[in-house]
Structure 1
Amino acid sequence: MPTTTPVRSWLLGTPSRADALQLYCFPHAGGNPVEYLRWAAQLPDAELHIVQLPGRGSRHQEPHATSIDRLVTDFLADVPLARPYAFFGHSLGALIAYEVTRALRDAGRRLPQDLIVSAFPAPHLPRSTRHLHTLPDDQLLQAVARRHGGIPREILGSPQIRALIVNPLRSDLRLAETHHHRPCTPLPVPLTVFAGNGDRVSQGQLAAWQQHTIEPITVRSFPGDHFYFRDHETQVLNTLNDALRSPQ
C-alpha cells in the first residue's frame, strides 16, 4: 500500500516561490542531498527540491527502499507535483527520475517540462555491473572509488566514516543493479543528457536515450569524470539554467 510519508520528509529545498519553476533533483547512489541543495544560489529561476530517500537524513529510521518500483510508487503517493516542474537526476538519480516520469505518464498525471539525466546509460542497455552491492564493505567502497571516484581518501581511511556511508551506498547500488527495464513507448517529454567527457559512460550509451523520448534529445558534455559537476559547477549550472529556460 502507498505510504503516508509527509512531503517534507521526501524533500529538502529552498523557500517556496509561486513564480518559479520547481526543480526536483534525484541524487546519485550514496549521495548527500545537501551537496545538491547548495546549487540554489546559482539557479535563480528555480525553486529547488532535493529528493531524500528512505533511510537518509531525517528519515534515517525508515527502512531503505527494496526496489525502484516501490520507491516510485511511494514517492508519487506523497509528492503532488502540481505546479510546473522539471527533473534532474545524476547517475542512479537519472534512472529514478526516468522511472518516476514513466509512472506519471502511465497515471495520466502532469509531466515534467524537462527531464535532465546525468552520467547514466540509457535504461534499456545492459548493466555493466550486477554484483557491486554484494561485495564486503571495504571491497564495495574500493570498487566504487575505482569505477566512479567521488569517495574522498579520508573516508576510505576512516572505519568510523566508512560505517556511516556503506549501508546507504549498498542499498542504492542494489536498487540500480537489480532493476529490470520494461520496454514502453517513448515519453512525450524533452530530454537532455549531461555527462563528463572522462566518465566510463560512452557517447553511444548517452545517445541511446533518444529511444525514450519522442523529442530530439540534447547531449551536453563537460570536462571531468563521473562527478564532473564538482569541478565545473558554475559551467554546469549555467547550462542547467539555460536548459530550464529554453521554451518548449
Structure 2
Amino acid sequence: MITPRPVPLLGAAPARRNPWLNGRSLTATPERHLYCFPHSGGLPGEYVRWGQYLRGTQVYAVCMPGRGSRAAEPALTDLDAVVRALLTETEFVAPYDLFGHSLGALVAYEVTRELAARGLPLPERLVVSAFPAPHLPRHGPQLSGLPDEELIELLNERYGGIPPRTAADPDMVALLLPAFRADFALLETYRHRESGPLAVPLVVLGGEADSVTPDQLDAWDRHSAVTVRRHAFSGGHFYFRDDMAPVAAVLAG
C-alpha cells in the first residue's frame, strides 16, 4: 500500500512591492490616501514623513526611476513615458488625492488627465503646489546640460538649494545631480496639449515669497470644471519646510 505524501499548505504569495510607491503602512484601515509627487531631484522620504501630520491618511510618495531607491535604474526624461509606466504598475486606492510640488505638480496633473482619458477612478482632489499653470509658455535657459558647478549654483539661487547636510556630502551630491538633470530634461521636453478642464476639484498652493507668481498660480483656474481654491503660505518655494501645520490643515480638509 502506498501512503500518499502530505501536501504542504501553501500560504498566499507576498504581494509584490510597487517600486513607484514609498510609504509607511498604517496599523488601522486608512480613511483616505494621499499620493505625493516630489519636486525636481526630490526624494520620497520628505513627503512620506507628512503622514505624521495627517491622521488616518495613508501617505505615499511617488519614486520615479533614477531617483532614491531606484537610482540604479535608467531615468525617464519624457513625461508621457513616466505617466504610462506609472499607471501600468500602479492602481490608486480610493478615496484618494494627488499632490504634486513644483515639477511634481505637472506630473500629478498629467497623471490625472491620463486617468480621465482611460475612464479610471479620479482623485477627489488634485493639489498642485508652486508651479505655473501647464499651458503657460516657458522661457529660460536649458538646465539639464549645465556643468555641475553651474547647476548647483542655479539650484541654490532659484530653488532654495540642496539641503546643507546633503550639500556637504560630495557622494550625495553626485547621486542627486543626475536626478535633477533628468527632471529638468523632462520639463524641457514637455509640450502642453489642450484637452479641456478636468472634472476634479483643484487646490493650488504657493509660497508668498516664491518666484512663481500669483498670476501664474491663478492661471490654473482653467484646468478644473469643478472648483479651484487657492492658498498662499508664508515662505518661498519650499514654504512647507518652514511650517507644515497650515499646509497639513489644507491637505486634511
Per the normalisation by structure 2, the TM-score is 0.89
Match of 1:29 among 25, 36, 40: 40
Q: Secondary structure at the residue paired with 2:91?
A: coil
Q: 1:238 aligns with which of 239, 249, 253?
A: 249
1:150-193 deviation digits (Å, cap 9, x = unpaired): 42345445533321211111111111122111111100000000
Matches of 1:231 and 1:35, distance apart in 2: 13
Task: Point out where structure 2 has 5 or more consecutive residues left out of the alignment.
Answer: 1-15
Deviation at 1:18? 3.5
User: 1:44 and 1:150, CA in 2 relative to 1: closer, same or farther beyond 3 A?
Assistant: farther
| CA apart distance, 1:14 | 2.4
Provide structure 1 residue ranges, at least 5 long, that are not aligned to the other structure: 1-5, 243-248
Distance 1:52 1:61 in 2: 13
Equivalence map 1:99-118=2 (5 Å): 99-118=110-129
Q: Residues 235 and 82 from structure 1, CA distance in 2 versus in 1: closer, same or farther, beyond 3 angstroms?
A: closer
Letter in 2 for 1:146: E
Cα RMSD (Å) of the superposition? 1.6
**Which of the numbers 50, 57, 65 marks the counterpart of 1:46?**
57
Q: Report if the CA contact (8 A) 2:34-2:57 is conserved.
A: yes
Deviation of 1:101 (Å): 0.2
Tell me which of 120, 133, 152 is aligned to 2:144: 133
Distance 2:60 2:30 in 1: 15
Alpha-carbon distance in structure 2 between the residues aligned to 1:103 and 1:198 = 32
Aligned to 1:9: 19
Partner of 1:123: 134
Q: What's the CA shift for 1:57?
A: 2.7
Deviation at 1:144, TM superposition (A): 1.7
Asked whether 1:172 is paired with 2:178, we answer no
Change (3 A) 1:180 1:130: farther
Question: How far is 1:19 from its partner?
Answer: 4.2
- CA deviations 1:220-240 (Å, max 9, x no partner) are 000000000000112211222
Contact 2:34 2:97 in 1 (8 A): yes
Is the 2:41–2:67 contact (alpha carbons within 8 Å) kept by the matching residues of 1?
A: no
Q: Report the counterpart of residue 232 of structure 2 in structure 1.
A: 221
CA contact (8 A) 2:47 2:60 kept: no
Q: Which amino acid in 2 is paired with 1:62?
A: E
In 2, the alpha carbon distance for the partners of 1:138 and 1:65 equals 23
Question: What is the DSSP-based 3-state SS (H/G/I as helix, E as strand, rest coil) of the residue aligned with 1:133?
Answer: coil
Q: String of CA shifts for 1:183-204, please: whole Å, max 9, x gaps.
A: 1110000000010000011111
Question: Does the alignment pair 1:186 with 2:194?
Answer: no
Comparing 103-112 and 138-147, the one that deviates more = 138-147
Measure, in 1, the Cα distance between the counterparts of 2:185 and 2:70. Answer: 19
Report SS of the residue matched to 1:175: helix
Distance in 2 (alpha carbons) for counterparts of 1:212 and 1:181: 12
**How far apart in 2 are the matches of 1:130 and 1:73?**
28
Q: 1:60 aligns with which of 58, 63, 71?
A: 71
Kindly indicate whether the alpha-carbon contact (under 8 Å) linking 2:31 and 2:56 is maintained by their aligned counterparts in 1.
yes
- Number of matched residues? 237
